[in-house]
Structures are given as C-alpha cells and as structure tokens.
C-alpha cells in the first residue's frame, strides 16, 4: 500500500481512501473558523474551539485534506468523487495514487459524484478536457446536475463574488464533458450491488451520501454533510457555502442518528486523513470518534 492511501475492508469489499492532495483555504473573512461555523454565536464558538485546543486567533488559513474512495466489490470498481484536479498545485494526485494501487483510469466502471463542488468533481476530466475515466458511467443526483449545469444563483452564500465564480466555472468545466457517460438518479437507489445512494441535501441541492454494505458490515460516506468534527457536537452550525442551511441541519441529524444507531463506519470528506471514524450519540448531539488506523 502506498503511504498516500489507506486500505480497509467493508465485509468482502476492498476499500481504499485515495489521497488527491490538500487545499489551504484562504477565506475572505480573516478568521477561517467563522466560515466553517458562520451562524455560531461568537462567544460560544470561542468556547467550543477552546475545548478542542484550537486558538480562534490563529486560524487564518485552514488546510483541508482532499481524497476519494475506491471500492472494489469483486465484480465492480467504483470510485466515489474525483478530487480537485488542477484546482491548486497541491491537488490532482488522484490518478497517480490510483496507479500506485495498480488501478488505471480505464479500470473504473462507476464514478459516483456526491455533489458538484470543485473538490469532488475536479478530476472528472483529463488535461484534454475528456472524461478521465473512459469506461465509467458517472452517477449523480438529478437535482445536483440541473442546479450546477444551469446558471445557479449563489447570491445567498456568504462568500466572495470571486468564490462564486470559481464554483460555477469548475462545475461547468467538469460536468458538461461527462454528459455522454452520465446516469442521473432522482431517488435513493442501489447503484451497484451493495452500494446505495442516500439523499443528503442541504450542503448543495442534490448532495448525496453513499452507503456501502457487505457481509453485514457497513460504511457510510457522508461527504460534506459535516466539514469539521465540531459539526457533530454543534449540528446547527453550518458553513458559508451551505446552499440550504435548514436542510443541512435536518440531513445531519438523520444521517448521524442512523450512523450512531447502526454503529456504521463513517467516512467524512474533509476530516483528518483517512477521514474514517464512528459517530457517538450524546443526547441530542453527537461526537466523532476517529477510527484507529493500522498505519
């Protein structure tokens, strides 16, 4: 196994968290914490950050990991999300990290896109603008596709005009070229045997989680339902890029309640690598318990 990747099993399925890179978020607001918890009362936010040994004055930049999930079911090779491609010099390592595992782009038969943000679809195409996974069917929730491929209204987002332009341009550049290989879904459905799309709207209109079940073991890839472990403890604090904040909160409660009750292994896109852990129910809120990794 490459040091870039993390391999684990869900029942008989072989899974690998494949690194794409990292991205340092310079937000327009001086303090990045505010962008992650945009509606948090400032005093309370200060207190909670302190409980996590985070200094609110020191967080002017936040380095987030980016990664994708590869699932080999035995019959199928499924990739969930494609990283950020050329978004930054520190991103776009997905293909070489797949190759380090002996997987070439042509081996992938299904690409599931959880949502249309640049860090999840940025590797959809190659340097010539063609689909990077030539033999795959790309699967996305219909509402998500329609939102990003039309002229989305992002006026409600608490980010800069430049930030809004990046989101729209990246969506058009990375979604339109895959049209001929695209399958849109409009309800929760099994995409391949053992791998199911779960509605998780709010972060974006058709944001999708992915449930993986094999031999009574399960993994729930919650993508950007939560962006930081503090979101489990404060499920009502949402980020500056949440398209529908109320829905974010409802979706969080539904998915986190389910994951805690089922004791499912959970994968969160932007948690410290490899992003795996369990959700513990604490009354009406939750807590993140990172998975003890073997390496």
Least distance (Å) between residue 120 CB and Zn ion: 6
Q: Which is nearer to Zn ion, 13 or 37 (CB)?
A: 37
Residues 76-95 that bind Zn ion (CB under 5 A): none
Query: Which is closer to Zn ion, CB of 143 or CB of 224?
Result: 224
Regarding 224 and contact with Zn ion (CB under 5 A), the answer is yes
Residue 77 or 203 having the CB closest to Zn ion: 203
143 binds Zn ion (CB under 5 A): no
Q: Nearest 5 degrees, angle CA 204-CA 224-CA 241?
A: 50
Q: Which residues contact 85 (CB under 8 A, 6 or more apart)?
A: 91, 92, 118, 122, 123, 124, 125, 174
Q: What is the nearest approach in angstroms of Zn ion to the Cβ of residue 84?
A: 9
d(CA 263, CA 162): 41
**Residue 214 beta carbon to Zn ion: minimum distance, rounded to whole angstroms:** 26
Stretch that binds Zn ion, among 28-36, 43-51, 190-198, 216-224 (CB under 5 A): 216-224
What CA–CA distance (Å, rounded) separates 35 from 30?
9
CB of 269 to Zn ion, least distance (A): 5
CB of 15 to Zn ion, least distance (A): 19
Closer by beta carbon to Zn ion, 197 or else 242: 242
Q: How far is the CB of 207 from Zn ion (least distance, A)?
A: 10
Is 77 or 117 the residue whose CB approaches Zn ion more closely?
117
Find the binding residues for Zn ion in span 182-201 (CB under 5 A). Answer: none
Q: Which is nearer to Zn ion, 20 or 119 (CB)?
A: 119
Segment lying near Zn ion (by CB under 5 A), choices 51-59, 80-88, 117-125, 232-240 = 117-125
Q: Least distance from C-beta 268 to Zn ion, angstroms?
A: 10
Q: SS3 breakdown of the chain: % helix, strand, coil, rounded to 5? A: 30, 30, 40
DSSP string, 146-208: HHHHS----TTSSS-HHHHHHHHHHHHHHHGGGGGGEEEE-S--EEETTEEEEE--SSSTT-E
User: Cis bond leading into 290, ω under 30°?
Assistant: no
Residues 253-292 that bind Zn ion (CB under 5 A): 269
CA distance 175 to 125: 9
Nearer to Zn ion, 4 or 119 (CB): 119
Concatenated DSSP letters of 256-284 = HHHHHHHT-EEEETTSSTT-EEEEEEETT
Contact 216, 121 (CB under 8 A): no
Please identify, among the stretches 88-96, 126-134, 143-151, 218-226, the one whose residues bind Zn ion according to the rule CB under 5 A. Answer: 218-226
Q: Considering only the stretches 35-43, 185-193, 219-227, 249-257, report the one whose residues sit in contact with Zn ion under the rule CB under 5 A.
A: 219-227
Determine which residue in the list 20, 119, 143, 247 makes contact with Zn ion, applying CB under 5 A: 119
Q: Which is nearer to Zn ion, 77 or 115 (CB)?
A: 115
Q: Give how many residues touch Zn ion by CB under 5 A.
A: 3
Integer Cα distance of 287 and 139 in angstroms: 31
3-class secondary structure, 18: strand
Query: What are 251's two structure tokens?
Result: 């979706």
- Which residues contribute to the site for Zn ion (CB under 5 A)? 119, 224, 269
């Amino acid at each position: 196994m490459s040091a870039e990747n993390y391999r684990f099993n869900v029942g008989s399925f072989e899974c690998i968290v494949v690194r794409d890179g990292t991205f340092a978020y310079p937000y327009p607001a001086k303090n990045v914490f505010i962008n992650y918890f945009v509606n948090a009362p400032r005093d309370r936010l200060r207190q909670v950050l302190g409980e996590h040994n985070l200094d609110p004055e020191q967080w002017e930049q936040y380095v987030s990991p980016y990664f994708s999930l590869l699932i080999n079911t035995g019959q199928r090779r499924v990739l969930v999300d494609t990283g950020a491609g050329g978004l930054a010099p520190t991103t776009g390592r997905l293909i070489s990290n797949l190759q380090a595992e002996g997987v070439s782009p042509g081996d992938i038969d299904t690409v599931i896109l959880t949502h249309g943000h640049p860090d999840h679809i940025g590797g959809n195409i190659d340097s010539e603008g063609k689909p990077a996974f030539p033999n795959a069917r790309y699967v996305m929730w219909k509402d998500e596709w329609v939102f990003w491929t039309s002229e989305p209204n992002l006026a409600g987002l608490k980010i800069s005009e430049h930030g809004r332009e990046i989101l729209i341009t990246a969506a058009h550049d990375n979604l339109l070229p895959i049209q001929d290989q695209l399958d849109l879904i409009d309800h929760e459905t099994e995409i391949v045997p053992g791998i199911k799309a779960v509605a998780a709207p709010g972060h974006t209109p058709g944001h999708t989680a992915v449930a993986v079940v094999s031999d009574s073991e399960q993994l729930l890839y919650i993508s950007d339902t939560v962006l930081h472990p503090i979101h489990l403890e404060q499920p009502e604090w949402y980020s500056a890029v949440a398209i529908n904040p109320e829905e974010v909160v409802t979706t969080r409660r539904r998915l986190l309640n389910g994951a805690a009750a089922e004791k499912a292994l959970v994968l969160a896109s932007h948690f410290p690598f490899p992003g795996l852990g369990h959700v513990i129910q604490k009354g009406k809120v939750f807590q993140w318990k990172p998975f003890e990794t073997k390496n």
